[in-house]
Amino acid sequence: MTPPATAASRSGLRSAPTPPVSESREFLDVILPVLNFSQEETGVGKYTFEMAKFFSEQGHSVKVICAPPYYPWWRVQAPYKSWKGMRETIGTMEIQRCPIWVPRQPTGMKRALHLSTIGASVVIPSVLLPGKADVVWLAQPSLSLAPAALMAAWRTKSNAWMHVQDLEVAAAQHLKVLPGITKPLIAVLERNLYSRCHTVSTISPSMAAQLRQRGSPENIPVFPNWVDVDAIQPLRGASPYRAQLELDDSMTVVLYSGNMGEKQGMDIILQAARRLAHRSDILFILAGGGNARPRLELAANDIPNLRFLPLQPSHRMQEFLALGDIHLVPQSAGVGNLVMPSKMTAILSAGRPVVATCDSDDELASVVRRCGLVVAPGDDEAFARAVEDLVDSPLRRRALGAMGREYAEQNLSSQVILPRMEAHLWAVAGLERKAA
């Protein structure tokens, strides 16, 4: 059997051949040069940390090179410093935090500079990695770390596995965050980076199709974002948050929770709240942080049936999800096949119905139809009508929530997906686990 080529060998750099698959080991050495990691409770960092933690619990040696936690607050969290590196351990994982510049208001060019700083600061620890490894695992976002990750693969004579959570470049170009003149250059860069990885995987079939169009190999494993279906379940009885927020039983809560960025298209929530301001039994709640929140708060200053809350602690996630009788998942037009909101897995597992904005043929729409209603982006009248229809149909809400929960149990359980990812980790390394 011919061993797969390493990322280093594809780049023309000399490296040792990949061990044949017949070789067996008790565990693997894994390196993760990633942007987001632990203590970020939303977005990519949450999933990367949970995966790395699972690998570590299976006995693998896991070394992480990453930024300090800053998302979705867009400020580095204490006790970390944006300008200072730091070493730490979580369980058996070794973590090197690298300096990063974080803009308070991340415009397109500021975001590009922000990503370039972490791309540069991870280079030295990646090149100076001691010894050998088996797999270098990296995520998109952010592609700015890919050169350092490929250097780490060359330095440790290992294979690179890129997992695409978000087609960040395509989404940025679609939203006109990046200048159009950069599109051909970035397309070439993407194809080059994908071709140098042993494996490129992603989170949905539609994103796999997008990757193939952008120069990725034909064989793209799909590992959906997961949820611990035992930890996040439909709550029996009322959420404790209702008493905390002094809400009576007649109030229907329409909840958005997560990052508040421009690609979420969140203005439609404000417009729907205005349309339904005459309904004293409906309360819109927006919880979380992000670069769009200050603008949204200012624009919502005159909306009486809308409240803003901070991002809630992860240990209360089940209670907070249960607060929402209806959950909102807005997306800008054309983005539903480029990103899959990470919040969807938890909403499905919690058994709550959804109203989402996305194009009817998007991947997001195919998921939402199992547990809620799909509205075209920008149609605030239809969005408000969909919310009102579910407010007035409690039996339908329960039925949709139950279907979402069933889908999560069958397709999104972390108890199924994480072992699949670990099995693929062995395949990327070209090794087999030694029998106990």
For residue 193, give the CATH number of its domain: 3.40.50.2000
Range of the domain at 218: 7-226+413-433
Report yes or no on 118 lying in a domain: yes
Residues 148 and 114 in one domain: yes
Q: What is the pLDDT of residue 10?
A: 34
Per-residue CA distances from 434 to 22, 23, 25, 183 (Å)? 10, 9, 5, 46
Q: What angle do helix axes 394-411 and 343-350 make, rounded to 10 degrees?
A: 120
User: Under DSSP, is residue 137 helix (H, G, I), strand (E, B) or coil?
Assistant: strand
pLDDT digits (tens, 9 = 90+) for 223-250: 999 999 999 999 989 999 999 999 999 9
Residues 186 and 167 in one domain: yes
Which DSSP symbol is given to 18? Answer: P
Distance between CA atoms of 117 and 100, rounded to whole angstroms?
Answer: 5
pLDDT digits (tens, 9 = 90+) for 359-405: 887 778 888 998 999 999 999 999 999 999 999 999 999 999 999 99
Report yes or no on 235 lying in a domain: no
Q: Is the pLDDT of residue 339 over 90?
A: no
pLDDT digits (tens, 9 = 90+) for 135-150: 999 998 888 899 999 9
Residues 185 and 275 in one domain: no
Q: Is the pLDDT of residue 107 over 80?
A: no
Residues 218 and 91 in one domain: yes
CA torsion angle for 378, 384, 386, 390 (degrees, to 10)?
150
pLDDT digits (tens, 9 = 90+) for 193-217: 888 999 999 998 888 988 888 777 7
**In what order do the strands lie in the sheet containing 306-309?**
306-309, 282-287, 252-257, 326-329, 354-357, 372-375
Per-residue CA distances from 173 to 170, 208, 255, 263, 411 (Å)? 5, 19, 29, 11, 31
Residues 328 and 374 in one domain: yes
Q: What is the pLDDT of residue 265?
A: 81
Residues 248 and 220 in one domain: no
Note the pTM of the prediction, 2 decimals: 0.83
93: closest CA among 127, 60, 123, 68?
60
Report yes or no on 233 lying in a domain: no
Report yes or no on 234 lying in a domain: no
In this structure, the chain runs to a length of 436
Question: How many domains, the chain?
Answer: 2
Cα–chain center distance at 387: 26
Q: Is the pLDDT of residue 176 over 70?
A: no
Q: What is the pLDDT of residue 195?
A: 87
Element (H, E) at 272: helix 267-275
Q: Which residue's entry shows tokens 């359980």?
A: 413
Residues 49 and 166 in one domain: yes
Distance between CA atoms of 115 and 102, rounded to whole angstroms?
Answer: 9
